[in-house]
Amino acid sequence: MSYVKKICPTCGKEFFVLEKAEEKATYCTLACLIKAQSKVESRSMTFPSFS
């Protein structure tokens, strides 16, 4: 098995993933994934409904 070193965009830590999962693995932990998702959700815009 071959591993690839990556850097988490949320916390900046280095982590290793299997080469086969390189494209899918972005965050070092589930906590970092949740942090990143909450940032995206807070930036989303809501539009008023025109009824």
Given this model, what pLDDT does residue 1 score?
87
Q: Dump pLDDT digits (tens) for 39-48.
A: 776 665 566 6
> Each residue of 3-35: pLDDT tens digit?
999 999 999 999 999 999 999 999 999 999 999
Measured distance CA(2)–CA(10) in Å, rounded? 24
Which pTM value belongs to this model? 0.71
Give the DSSP H/E element, type plus range, for residue 18.
Answer: strand 14-18
